[in-house]
Amino acid sequence: MPGALEGLTVIEFAGIGPGPFACMMLADHGARVIRIERPGRPGRFGDNGNTDILNRNRLVVELDMKDPAAIARVRELVREADAIVEGYRPGVMERLGIGPEVLLADNPRLVYGRMTGWGQDGPMAPLAGHDINYIALSGALHTYGQAGGKPQFPVNAVGDFGGGGMLLAFGVMAAVFSAQRTGKGQVVDAAMTDGAAILSAMTWSFYGNGTWKDERGVNLLDGGTHFYDTYETADGKWISLGSIEPQFYAQLLDKTGLKGDPEFARQMDPSAWGPLKEKVTALILTKTRDEWCAIMDGTDICFAPVLSLAEAPSHPHNAARGTFLTEGGMVMPGPAPRFSGTPAPVPKLASKPLD
DSSP 203-224: HHHHHHTT-S-SSTT-STTTT-
Q: How do beta strands 303-305 and 9-13 pair?
A: unpaired
Catalytic residue numbers, as ranges: 130, 160
pLDDT in tens, 188-228: 999 999 999 999 999 999 999 999 999 999 999 999 999 99
CA distance 248 to 145: 25
Neighbours of 247 (CB within 10 A): 8
Grade residue 329 by pLDDT with cuts at 50, 70 and 90.
confident
CA distance 231 to 238: 5
Give the chain's largest Cα–Cα span. 78
CA distance 159 to 155: 9
pLDDT in tens, 32-81: 999 999 997 654 544 444 678 999 999 999 999 999 999 999 999 999 99
Neighbours of 192 (CB within 10 A): 33
| DSSP output for 272-299 | HHHHHHHHHHHHHTTS-HHHHHHHHTTS
